[in-house]
Structure 1
Amino acid sequence: MERWLGKVAVVTGASDGIGAEISKKLVNVGLHVVGLARNEEKLEKLCGELKSESGRFYPFKTDMTKEEDILKAFQWIEANVGPVHVLVNNAGISQNKHLFEGSTEMWKNVLDTNVIGLCVATREAVKSISPGFVDTEIGSYCNMNVPIEFAKLKVEDVADAALYVLGTPGHVQVYHNTIHKD
């Protein structure tokens, strides 16, 4: 975890439950965590609890169903904390209703939180970041002219990532493993 010391992580749904716990653990190991959630009071309380840890927690009230809130949050993060290195898309809601009992408003709220909010946050977190080009022969076949600022990964980097995923305990499932060169 040393390589993450002082890096910026964004955790959505950070005011309670899994998001709060992930935020605590990341701050405990030295990351600067921006917690996004609607409940400003709980975010502030969590910030107070984490004041003496090695990292820092930044609460930012954000409604993940509102694109303008998400955009404002990421603009603030870039201007006040720094570039995002880690994004934990944790915010989510569910409705305990059958399809025939649900309302259009309920479905829109679930989709706006669980899908649209996640997509907007992901888009904002990865802007201007290397898409992870790998220095292989396929790049020359495809005439991929990679700008100099997009450093290429080595094939060994990808192989190491694969070994990492395979080396996780059996109860851990890695669904996405995105890597890029710093």
Structure 2
Amino acid sequence: MDRWAGRVALVTGASVGIGAAICRELVKHGMIVIGCARNDKQIEALSVELAGQAGSLVAFHCDLNDSDQIETLFATVREQFGGIDVCVNNAGLYFTGSLLNGDVEKWRTILNVNVLAVAHCAQLAIRSMRDRNVDEGQVINICSLSGHRVPPNPDVHFYAASKYAMTALTEGLRQELAAEPPTKIRVAQISPGLVQTEIAARAHNEPGRVMELGVEAKNIADAVLYILSTPPELQVHDILLRPTAQRT
């Protein structure tokens, strides 16, 4: 990880859960971390908590449902920090509702955040890396086991569809980068099963409740560190992980 010290990482959905855990670990390893979310106040509090670490955390407000805000975020980072070296597309959401009875507008929001924003951020991050001829860059998409199998739960079927789309995006980016002249820009994906975060509680309108059965958010952050620590000629494509007790 020493080679990443002093370089700039963007983490979306950085206010809580997996995103906050990733910010903590990257800051500890000396990176300048741009944490973005709709609730930037929580990121500001985390920044204060991490003061004195090798790196630093800077909070940005950004609603990934709005492509103009994404463009503004990248433009501001370019002006203030030069550009992005590592892009962690962590933000994601889902709403309850089956394919037969779900709310189409909620589906549209899921697609905007889980698919379109991921593609948009990856595109802008890679453009930033190319424009500056960086010696090494990395995109990491935080996907889900639901991007590899459809759980027998109607409430998450559309969410699974969005995560299957992310899996396709990750492979598409890999192919496009590999088809170019030799590059040290890589793309990887992490696909967790159940994680101790609030995403399910939010979907069920139970704020503050954390998934009890699940791996810790830090386990996902450790997987991010593993990807970054591998040599640039090695392509880590997808890491699947779940609690030992999870059956599906």
Instruction: Report TM bin, short chain.
Output: 0.7 to 0.9
User: 1:1-27 CA deviation, whole Å, 9 max, x = no partner?
Assistant: 010000000000000100000011000
1:35 is matched with 35
Q: How many percent of aligned residue pairs carry the same amino acid?
A: 35
1:6 is matched with 6
1:161 is matched with 233
2:25 is matched with 25
> How many residues are treated as equivalent by the alignment?
147
1:173 is matched with 239
User: 1:134-182 CA deviation, whole Å, 9 max, x = no partner?
Assistant: xxxxxxxxxxxxxxxx98459xxxx9734x749xxxxx728xxxxxxxx
Q: TM-score, normalised by structure 2?
A: 0.54
1:140 is matched with none
Contact 1:130 1:151 (8 Å CA) reproduced:
no
| Distance change in 2, residues 1:58/1:152 (3 Å) | same
Report the Cα offset of residue 47 of structure 1: 1.2
Look up the SS of the partner of 1:129 in the other structure: helix
2:52 is matched with 52
| Distance change in 2, residues 1:103/1:80 (3 Å) | same
Look up the SS of the partner of 1:53 in the other structure: coil
User: 1:27-80 CA deviation, whole Å, 9 max, x = no partner?
Assistant: 010000000100022111111111111101010000011011111110111111
1:69 is matched with 69
Contact 2:15 2:36 (8 Å CA) reproduced:
yes
Residue identity matched to 2:10: V
Look up the SS of the partner of 2:113 in the other structure: helix
- CA distance in 2: counterparts of 1:122 and 1:40, whole angstroms: 21
1:95 is matched with 95
- CA distance in 2: counterparts of 1:49 and 1:42, whole angstroms: 11
User: 1:64-116 CA deviation, whole Å, 9 max, x = no partner?
Assistant: 11011111110111111222110000000012221122111100010000001
Aligned CA RMSD, in angstroms, stands at: 2.7
- CA distance in 2: counterparts of 1:66 and 1:32, whole angstroms: 25
Residue identity matched to 2:87: L
- CA distance in 2: counterparts of 1:153 and 1:65, whole angstroms: 31
Look up the SS of the partner of 2:239 in the other structure: coil
1:135 is matched with none
- CA distance in 2: counterparts of 1:5 and 1:118, whole angstroms: 25
Report the Cα offset of residue 126 of structure 1: 1.1
- CA distance in 1: counterparts of 2:97 and 2:39, whole angstroms: 24
Between stretches 14-23 and 92-101, larger displacement belongs to: 92-101
Residue identity matched to 1:92: G
Structure with the higher strand share, 1 or 2: 2
- CA distance in 2: counterparts of 1:153 and 1:67, whole angstroms: 27
| Distance change in 2, residues 1:128/1:26 (3 Å) | closer
- CA distance in 2: counterparts of 1:16 and 1:77, whole angstroms: 21
